[in-house]
Structure 1
Amino acid sequence: MEWLNYHHLYYFWNVVREGGITAAGKRLNLVPSTISSQLTTLEETLEVKLFHRVGRNIEPTEMGQLVFQYADEIFSLGRELMDTIHGHPKAGRIPLRVGIVDALPKMIVRDLLDPVFKLPEPIRLICCENKKEALLAELALHKLDIIISDSPIGTGMSIKAYNHILGECGVTFFGVDELSGPLEADFPYSLSGTPILMPLQETTLRNDLDVWFESLKITPLIVGEFDDAALLKAFGQRGDGVFMAPTVIEEEVQRQYKVSIVGRTEKVQYRFYAISIEKILSHPAVLAISTAASHTLFAEKVAG
């Protein structure tokens, strides 16, 4: 069995972290030529190319990024080991790297991830928010364990990944008292001509809302469009327009933003997916998220 030289791996890890051989050399008090030779030896041992040159700089290849992820976990566990031996509190042993599509409501993301902190195994939660396409690229490089998304991965994608439905619920519309009061009686038709805050057009929710409004011949006055759900709610809290959120968190929205319910619909649905490269989920924290979502978060609303 061929053993990995962890000194070589440690040099590689520092080069990636510091952004180059020279910077890593300063951190390790080594001349660049020493580090370069160790990197070459590591590449020969692994039989892969770890870096490619971009202008005057070097950047990790796809395989280099994968090796860095493993190295990061290895040295993180090493620090944990030393902390444990010397009686320091242990950090989370099992990392969970979650990509979050930036258009998702933060409240429901928090509720979806809440089971992570109730597991007997200590978990270190690492959240990264970005556009779905960027997150899928990270997932393909094994830099994420799952992506929480409002839409499934489509066909024709270069990455082979699987959709795991977490749950779905209707849409609740909110507004400050001055707006919500007059709109409740004739909802949803009262939304015609009413100032409304909407998600951006390329989102799944926006497309579904547009179709629903058109089917009912409702023409709201769109005064703002947002790719960030929290920012949209902040404008709604000021009274700039009616806004929407998942029905399962309507009580939290009312409490936090001091707004009232205008109305609800089940004709438009928020849907939430976990996207992973695994067909069958195995990470204990991901399994807890999936189980709690289907049996608690969304099930309670259905039962109610």
Structure 2
Amino acid sequence: MAAPINYRHLYYFWVVAKEGGMARAAARLDMAVQTVSAQVRALEQSLGYALFRPAGRGMALTEAGVAAMAQADQIFQLGEQLPALVREAATGQGLRLAVGMSDGLPKLVVRHLLQPVVDETGVRLLCHEDEFDRLLGDLALHRLDAVLSDRAAPPNPNLRLYSHPLGEAPLAWFAPAALAKKCTKDFPACLADMPVLLPTGHAAVRPRLDQWFERQGLRPHVAGEFEDSALLATFGRSGMGAFPASRWSREELLADKGLRLLGDTPELVEHFYLISAERRIQHPLLQKLLAPTGSASAARRGS
């Protein structure tokens, strides 16, 4: 059985790697350079591998050092979160839920998906929007409790991630009232006679939209493409063009007197997932998000 890691030695190594040298690390730690160097050497001896190599006038991580740094980063970043988590628990500030949102996910849908926890009292909800792959990395490092996305986590033997279906919603098409009034054709043929706004390839539904246009024999004039679905709807409301939106967004969009519903496309469906770093969800708020779908027991592994 291997000897347990000395976390003080690991911390000194981490600071040296972060600062890029022994002298800068010693200054940050307010210690002698020789002391810091001795602590790093002790870690190297316990692991059996060199973690640094000379690089010009400075030093660089070896391959073993890169692997050690990845683990140290995770360990000490989690440690930095500890005081806030303890304070929240001790002061009764309620449960904290950090959720990543894929940048291709419609914002009105996000609100719908998160409504079960928003209705809870004492919840502190932290929402982060980023690219899908970056969010999965943060989830694997436990910087996030879950990721909401319009696609399941791809197979990856290095990331133990699990995709839990949250539901699905068909798309409908909306248009500014002025454009809708000018159209003389029925839906969906009318889309050929007006500018159209579409999500970019960041959205999982974009390829299905392109295929749908082909099946309908339509060659739309694409006036704009947007990564942010809320921005897409904003430009659509301003009169720029017709646009697709989830059924879960219908009520809010139809409340805008300047918009008209062109038609439904039940064959065009968006799928939504909650991605976690564990198969059995332990966080009570995540359990609440999954409860309506019963998907916690039907998690599909994304690796």
Tell me the TM-score normalised to structure 2 length.
0.73
Partner of 2:77: 72
Give the secondary-structure state (helix, strand or coil) at the position aligned to 2:217: coil
Q: Does the Cα contact within 8 Å between 1:170 and 1:270 map onto a contact in 2?
A: yes
Partner of 1:302: none
Partner of 2:107: 106
Tell me the TM-score normalised to structure 1 length.
0.73
Identity within the alignment, %: 33
Question: What's the CA shift for 1:199?
Answer: 1.6
Partner of 2:162: 162
Give the secondary-structure state (helix, strand or coil) at the position aligned to 1:215: helix
Question: Which segment drifts farther, 70-79 or 245-254?
Answer: 70-79
The whole-number CA distance in structure 1 between the counterparts of 2:231 and 2:180 is 20
Q: How far does the alpha carbon of each residue in 1:20-67 deviate from its partner, in whole angstroms, 9 at most, with x for none? A: 76655444433455444445545666x498966797676774553344
Code of the aligned partner of 1:213: F
Question: What's the CA shift for 1:148?
Answer: 1.8
**How do 1:207-226 and structure 2 match up within 5 A?**
207-226=207-226
Name the CA shift for 1:263/1:23 in 2 (closer, same or farther; >3 Å): farther
Q: How far does the alpha carbon of each residue in 1:242-283 deviate from its partner, in whole angstroms, 9 at most, with x for none? A: 112211122234457953322222110111112234233333
Q: Does the Cα contact within 8 Å between 1:153 and 1:275 map onto a contact in 2?
A: yes
**How do 1:29-44 and structure 2 match up within 5 A?**
29-41=30-42
The whole-number CA distance in structure 2 between the counterparts of 1:245 and 1:185 is 21
The structure with the larger Rg is: 2
Q: How far does the alpha carbon of each residue in 1:131-150 deviate from its partner, in whole angstroms, 9 at most, with x for none? A: x3333344444444433221
Name the CA shift for 1:51/1:283 in 2 (closer, same or farther; >3 Å): farther
Name the CA shift for 1:140/1:72 in 2 (closer, same or farther; >3 Å): closer
**How do 1:99-248 and structure 2 match up within 5 A?**
99-119=100-120, 123=124, 125=126, 127-130=128-131, 132-155=132-155, 159-183=159-183, 186-201=186-201, 203-248=203-248
The whole-number CA distance in structure 1 between the counterparts of 2:184 and 2:48 is 64
The whole-number CA distance in structure 2 between the counterparts of 1:256 and 1:278 is 41
Name the CA shift for 1:118/1:139 in 2 (closer, same or farther; >3 Å): same
The whole-number CA distance in structure 2 between the counterparts of 1:102 and 1:251 is 22
The whole-number CA distance in structure 2 between the counterparts of 1:58 and 1:119 is 49
Q: Does the Cα contact within 8 Å between 1:49 and 1:64 map onto a contact in 2?
A: no
Name the CA shift for 1:20/1:157 in 2 (closer, same or farther; >3 Å): same
Code of the aligned partner of 2:77: D
Aligned CA-pair RMSD: 4.1
Q: Does the Cα contact within 8 Å between 1:176 and 1:260 map onto a contact in 2?
A: yes
Q: How far does the alpha carbon of each residue in 1:223-248 deviate from its partner, in whole angstroms, 9 at most, with x for none? A: 11222223322322321111122111
Q: Is there any run of 5+ residues in structure 2 with no aligned partner, and where?
A: 295-303
